[in-house]
Chain A
Amino acid sequence: MSLENQISELRAEIIGAIDAAETEQSLDTVRVGALGKKGRVSALLATLGKMAPEERKTAGPAINGLKGEVATLIEARAETLRAEALERRLAAETLDVTLPLQPAPTARGRIHPISQTMDEIAAIFSDMGFSIAEGPDIETDYFNFTALNFPEGHPAREMHDTFFMKPSVDGEKKLLRTHTSPVQMRVMQKSNKPPRADYVTPPMDPPIRVVIPGRTYRNDSDQTHTPMFHQVEGLVIDKSSHIGQLRWVLEEFLKAYFEVPNVTLRFRPSFFPFTEPSMEVDVQCDRSGNEVRIGEGSDWLEILGCGMVHPNVIRNAGLDPDVYQGFAWGIGIDRIAMLKYGMADLRAFFDADTRWLDHYGFRPLDMPTLFGGLSS
């Protein structure tokens, strides 16, 4: 048999074996059988040395050509087999990606609207240079009433409106604060005694700009009143702040809080023992739909009380009302949360119904800031 036929036969045989190889392993057997040290192509190559130069001239390229071709084919077949193996693996590993996930913890947990609203209020007043002041829920008659110019016998001092604690051994009748205003006095009073608890804001020297959020209590329970509710109070004391600035602060606050370009406020003279002059403030709104819309419409909604701090209160704090002056206001946190976010029933705030919390609560990372926006 001529070398040419021999090569051709061997080529056909090896190509057949390559094509028949179904695994990388069997392909490797083919490779060793052909190109390995003892392989048949290698054996053929070995015969070149014994050939005459003339013969080698034609046989060399032919055998080497076969070697190259076989190597290429084996590599191509190997590539195919690897690709097939990967295909099979991928097929085997396929999962039903439509299976539902369990919501992430951050998607489930909620911040209560009261906390969120307090954070919103803090963000706004932080920009106006206010700090946050706090005091205890269990108050003395002095801080809750007397210091704030409530006369003896004022109706608010009666059991009908105020929760009293059972008298202590020394006969003192403490009470649950009916408003956050006692903290005004705690902040303003001239005193060198540091408070006995870290959370209680120590007395400050004017100029004072504080907001005072907190729980407040009244002996009242019906559709629109709960025995516990939340208030935020504002206090500015310096030597010049007047009602013109009070108007500005409240307008700017309400605009920022309700996230509307404009609010129209109506200041009505009113009466509170601890301010003089005193005013109630109505905000213009639209009540025609199911929800109150602030910043539009032609209805009025009473939203807060305010006034110039009463000279007797300033005096009670140990300051001279002819030198120091300022204003204060108080607003219901629960109430403005309801107005902004559309809750219908105050009582639901304290029920911890997870359906309500899910619906009206806020995502943990939804943090009100002025740079990122109050609400998303």
Chain B
Amino acid sequence: MKFTLDWLKEHLETTATADEIARTLTMIGLEVEGVEDQAKALEPFVIAKVVSAEQHPNADKLRLCKVDAGTGELLDVVCGAPNARAGLTSVFAFPGTHIPGKEITIQKGVIRGQVSNGMLCSAMELGLGNDHDGILDLPDDAPIGVPYPKYAGMDGVVFDIAITPNRGDCTAVYGVARDLAAAGLGTLKSQPIEPVEATGGKGKVGVSLEFAGAPVCKMFAGRLVTGVKNGPSPEWLQQRLRAIGLRPINALVDITNFVSYDRGRPLHVFDADKLTGNITARMAKPGETLLALDGRSYELDETICVIADDAGAQSIGGIMGGEDTGATDETTNVFIECAWFEPTEIASAGRKLGINSDARYRFERTVDPESVMPGIELATRLVQDLCGGTAHDTEVAGEVSAPGTVVDFAFSEVKRLTGLEIEADRIAEILESLGFTVEGSGERRSVTVPSWRPDVTQSADLVEEVMRIYGVDEIPVAPLPRLHHVAPQMLTPIQNRRRIVRRALAARGLDEAVTWSFISHDEAVRFGGGDETLQLANAIASDMTDMRPSLLPGLIAAARRNANRGFADVALFEVGQVFLSDMPEGQHTYASGLRCGTASVDGGGRHWSRKATPVGVFDAKADLAAALDALGVDIDKAQVVAEPAAWSHPGRGGRVQLGPKLILGWFGELHPAWTEALDIDGPIAAFEIDLDALPKPRKKATRSKGALDTSALQPVRRDFAFVVDSAVEAATILRAARGADKSLITNATVFDVFEGSHVGEGRKSVAIEVTLQPRQQTLTDEEIEQVSQAVVAAVTKSTGGTLRA
């Protein structure tokens, strides 16, 4: 909210400087977003007259103007404003002037071939609000060549403060003054509102509320003033409004804006002669529309409260008046509205319609419920003062009152919650200065909340009031008591898993990515998701509609973006949540990664030391194995089965499991059809690990690793080559070999695999090395021969293969 120092001083007797006031405002919770010495900033802008305006020869929307800026010569100025016309008095900036609303400095220039010696300005360009419909349109008698701030009466400082949603009372200069006075920056001036006698008797416009449910408009007061003379408001009022960026319209409208800012009390003025019959506050009817004062037409519905006459909706309740019934210069009979609307209803209606008005700003922060009657009196007085006329009876429908909360306040709460030690009388004094009534004595008193602070309901709220006025900075910093022991392990096993797997994968040369939790519906379906309960009802973009069932779509999209930038050989991973259902247990953490092009663990691209080979299933399997190993799972002790994920090449993928139902992860080359569908150049080798599926670490009685069991005898290694059917898995051969003599055989690995005509069509040769570890004594040739035969027998039996001659 904006206000000037002058305006503040209408309510606050103070000698404080603008700096002191700004600092105090921020420290009591009225955050200053800007303090501007407006007069200084706008000094270079002068009043100027457009002497002539002709069409620009090279641009439809531009005009060539001759401008008299009081320099004694006519300046050529190119202007794009629709209202630039001969005879218009406006505001002009010479070349070299900084334009605050645009953050640019205007230069002398040539626009579409025509010289322009400066700029005619809109209110927005001057930083005086949002009005950018055209350049400023000043009265004809505005003095040419005079600096605009001098003309506009901006001789002071303008504050812009942010008001939190609970402080409706500070959407008024008066409320701000009250807070500042409480904070010791002066004395609040008392300005009682004198009621206006209704000499005109009963007016012709009646008011009523018609709500089926809880009324959105709880109270409506209307008052007819007949025989007014509208027109421009007096200079003091115009200047006050202009200084905070409001455009003076006419006296009646200016009064509503003034009271809105001065007292936080929004009003509306109807031209009573344009109203049909009586006024009713009700919900809009489906299909009802209204042309509002901003010149836009709004579609209303039954969630929006309107003020209607017998002809239909004439105003959007608490948000904006209608164009057709608004007060104009010709208005002679005015009907003043002062009402109270439910804050949440106004907030949602305002958002729905996309209207940010001063009225909405105040009503959604809660207007003082007891301000309706004083508000209509103040408005009537101002109307009579500025426009004359005869006031009629105030018509009232409904009623609203403040909750009148009384808090039984133990002053010790201040110390308990803040650590501040403040004397009881000082606490009472602070509360009273804010308008609270404090009764009783001692350390526990009864505090009555004033009508303008409905946000205060309990002790903690009062503690905040005391704290912010006393000063948050006064709170002594006190250490949180330290632990009396070494900090216990901070991360749970699951949290630690994520930390470790990240480092393990990065150590294999993969870059960690963080991608969106939501992906497109098509991608979600493709990767096994897309369930309705995992779709957003209000997605922000069409490729962010579904919660991801896998990290791979996000990583593939990332790889595609990198490829499009010229970096095709990327290796990426992500450790993050996937969503298998909308329940907490449906959220799993996966660690997934992919390698593209030639990005093997040794690096991508061409290098003198090796051939640049495309990544394949074993790159993915190696990443997965390394990650599992870092997490304490030996892949050789788990089952690796040729059951690939749906995204995988069916013959080049597999999964790691501890049993058919306990799947730890998948690896493989991306299915060629998917590569194409996902619009990315292959090859891609990918893996996924479900970190939540890993068995929980067992609680151990001791951390001892046990004795190291080594043999003094040398191991013996024997090689075997088997010719088997191509479909036989190496795992089957190794399992059989290892099982041939469990006491002697400690390892079996594959050292060669090949296919070719000499081993037969559809067959392959698999050469394995078997390690025998004698325990008691050196093995004799006979013993070795026996074990060898057992190995051959076991393998041939389980595979149907033969020992290669």
Measured CB to CB, the residues of A under 8 A from B are 99, 102-106, 108-112, 114-115, 119, 122, 125-132, 134-138, 151-155, 158-160, 163-168, 173-174, 176, 195-201, 215, 217, 219-221, 227-228, 236, 241-245, 247-249, 251, 266-271, 276-280, 308, 310-311, 321, 325, 349-355, 357-358, 361, 363-365, 367
B153 to chain A, nearest CB (A): 32
List 21 contacting pairs A-B, 8 Å CB cutoff, sorted by A.
A99-B609, A110-B512, A111-B506, A128-B480, A129-B482, A159-B537, A159-B538, A220-B540, A242-B418, A243-B419, A244-B418, A247-B478, A248-B477, A248-B479, A267-B472, A268-B26, A269-B27, A311-B458, A352-B555, A354-B511, A354-B572
Stretch of B79-87, B558-566, B651-659, B734-742 lying at the A interface:
B558-566
Q: How far is the CA of A215 from the CA of B467 in the complex (A)?
A: 33
B562 near A353 with CB under 8 A, answer yes
B507 near A109 with CB under 8 A, answer yes
Contacts of A198 in B (CB 8 A): 494, 692, 696
* Known pairs A126-B490, A153-B347 / 6 extra A-B pairs, C-beta < 8 Å: A102-B607, A132-B490, A153-B348, A166-B537, A173-B537, A278-B464
Question: Contact string, B682-715, partner A, CB cutoff 8 A, digits 1/0?
Answer: 0000000000100010000000000000000000
Which partner residue on chain A sits nearest B559 by CB separation? A352
A49 to chain B, nearest CB (A): 53
Q: How far is the CA of A103 from the CA of B492 in the complex (A)?
A: 34
A242 near B416 with CB under 8 A, answer yes
Q: How far is the CA of A245 from the CA of B494 in the complex (A)?
A: 31
Contacts of A350 in B (CB 8 A): 514-516
Q: How far is the CA of A311 from the CA of B458 in the complex (A)?
A: 9
Q: A132-B490, A352-B572, A354-B511 are in contact. Are A166 and B467 (CB under 8 A)?
A: no
Q: How large is the interface on B (under 10, 10 to 19, 20 to 34, 35 or more residues)?
A: 35 or more
Stretch of B161-169, B274-282, B289-297 lying at the A interface:
B161-169
Tell me the chain B residues, 456-481 only, with Cβ under 8 Å from chain A: 458-461, 463-464, 467-468, 472-473, 475-480
Interface membership of B487, Cβ < 8 A: yes
B608 near A99 with CB under 8 A, answer yes
Interface membership of B172, Cβ < 8 A: no
Contacts of A215 in B (CB 8 A): 517, 576-577
B480 near A109 with CB under 8 A, answer no
A165 near B533 with CB under 8 A, answer yes
B615 to chain A, nearest CB (A): 14
A199 to chain B, nearest CB (A): 5
B514 near A352 with CB under 8 A, answer yes
A19 to chain B, nearest CB (A): 45
Interface membership of B532, Cβ < 8 A: yes
A251 near B477 with CB under 8 A, answer yes
Which partner residue on chain B sits nearest A163 by CB separation? B536
Contacts of A160 in B (CB 8 A): 351
Q: How far is the CA of A144 from the CA of B587 in the complex (A)?
A: 17
Contacts of A151 in B (CB 8 A): 344
B507 near A276 with CB under 8 A, answer no
Interface membership of B589, Cβ < 8 A: yes
B582 near A165 with CB under 8 A, answer yes
Q: How far is the CA of A135 from the CA of B166 in the complex (A)?
A: 29
A249 to chain B, nearest CB (A): 6
B582 near A353 with CB under 8 A, answer no
B681 to chain A, nearest CB (A): 16
Interface membership of B733, Cβ < 8 A: no
B561 near A276 with CB under 8 A, answer no
Contacts of B510 in A (CB 8 A): 109
Interface membership of B229, Cβ < 8 A: no
Which 5 pairs across A and B sit closest by C-beta, in order of nearness? A153-B344, A244-B419, A269-B29, A277-B464, A352-B558
Interface membership of B513, Cβ < 8 A: yes
Contacts of A365 in B (CB 8 A): 503, 507
Q: How far is the CA of A26 from the CA of B508 in the complex (A)?
A: 55
Of A166, A200, A245, A361, the residue contacting B535 (CB under 8 A) is A166
B347 near A228 with CB under 8 A, answer no
Contacts of B570 in A (CB 8 A): 354
A150 to chain B, nearest CB (A): 11
B617 to chain A, nearest CB (A): 19
Interface membership of B502, Cβ < 8 A: yes
Q: A153-B345, A244-B418, A277-B463 are in contact. Are A352 and B517 (CB under 8 A)?
A: no
Contacts of A220 in B (CB 8 A): 540
Of B463, B490, B536, the residue contacting A165 (CB under 8 A) is B536
Q: How far is the CA of A352 from the CA of B596 in the complex (A)?
A: 14
Interface membership of B212, Cβ < 8 A: no
Q: How far is the CA of A54 from the CA of B510 in the complex (A)?
A: 91
Q: A197-B584, A268-B27, A352-B561 are in contact. Are A166 and B506 (CB under 8 A)?
A: no
B533 near A166 with CB under 8 A, answer yes
Contacts of B516 in A (CB 8 A): 227-228, 350
B523 to chain A, nearest CB (A): 15
Q: How far is the CA of A311 from the CA of B28 in the complex (A)?
A: 22
B160 to chain A, nearest CB (A): 16
Of A201, A227, A243, A280, the residue contacting B418 (CB under 8 A) is A243
Q: How far is the CA of A279 from the CA of B483 in the complex (A)?
A: 27
Which partner residue on chain B sits nearest A250 by CB separation? B477
A196 near B584 with CB under 8 A, answer yes
Contacts of B506 in A (CB 8 A): 106, 109-111, 363-364
Q: A153-B348, A244-B478, A276-B461 are in contact. Are A109 and B492 (CB under 8 A)?
A: no
Contacts of A201 in B (CB 8 A): 492
A247 near B505 with CB under 8 A, answer no
B511 near A242 with CB under 8 A, answer no
Of B29, B558, B567, B587, the residue contacting A137 (CB under 8 A) is B587
Of A115, A154, A219, A249, the residue contacting B540 (CB under 8 A) is A219
Question: Contact string, B520-550, partner A, CB cutoff 8 A, digits 1/0?
Answer: 0000000000001111111111001001000
Which partner residue on chain B sits nearest A186 by CB separation? B584
B508 near A109 with CB under 8 A, answer yes
Q: How far is the CA of A249 from the CA of B480 in the complex (A)?
A: 7
Q: Which of B506, B577, B587 gathers most chain A CB within 10 Å? A: B506
A134 near B495 with CB under 8 A, answer yes
A361 near B417 with CB under 8 A, answer no
B511 near A277 with CB under 8 A, answer no
Q: How far is the CA of A57 from the CA of B541 in the complex (A)?
A: 114
Of B29, B167, B511, B544, the residue contacting A358 (CB under 8 A) is B511
Which partner residue on chain B sits nearest A139 by CB separation? B584
Question: Contact string, B612-634, partner A, CB cutoff 8 A, digits 1/0?
Answer: 00000000000000000000000
B304 to chain A, nearest CB (A): 14
Q: How far is the CA of A130 from the CA of B476 in the complex (A)?
A: 23
Q: A217-B517, A350-B516 are in contact. Are A248 and B480 (CB under 8 A)?
A: yes
Which partner residue on chain B sits nearest A278 by CB separation? B464
Q: A308-B460, A351-B558, A353-B561 are in contact. Are A277 and B538 (CB under 8 A)?
A: no
Interface membership of B73, Cβ < 8 A: no
B503 near A105 with CB under 8 A, answer no
Q: How far is the CA of A99 from the CA of B540 in the complex (A)?
A: 51
Q: How far is the CA of A228 from the CA of B536 in the complex (A)?
A: 13
B556 to chain A, nearest CB (A): 11
Q: How far is the CA of A201 from the CA of B608 in the complex (A)?
A: 52
B491 near A200 with CB under 8 A, answer no
Question: Contact string, B595-617, partner A, CB cutoff 8 A, digits 1/0?
Answer: 00000011100011100000000
A152 to chain B, nearest CB (A): 7
Which partner residue on chain A sits nearest B572 by CB separation? A352
Contacts of B562 in A (CB 8 A): 352-354
B512 near A111 with CB under 8 A, answer yes
Of B345, B473, B589, the residue contacting A267 (CB under 8 A) is B473
Of A131, A199, A249, the residue contacting B494 (CB under 8 A) is A199
Q: Which of A110, A125, A269 gathers most chain B CB within 10 Å? A: A269
Q: Which of B166, B364, B458, B472 gathers most chain A CB within 10 Å? A: B472
Q: A152-B344, A173-B537, A244-B478 are in contact. Are A132 and B492 (CB under 8 A)?
A: yes
B293 to chain A, nearest CB (A): 24
Which partner residue on chain A sits nearest B32 by CB separation? A268
Of A271, A349, A361, the residue contacting B164 (CB under 8 A) is A271
Q: How far is the CA of A200 from the CA of B506 in the complex (A)?
A: 26
A277 near B468 with CB under 8 A, answer yes
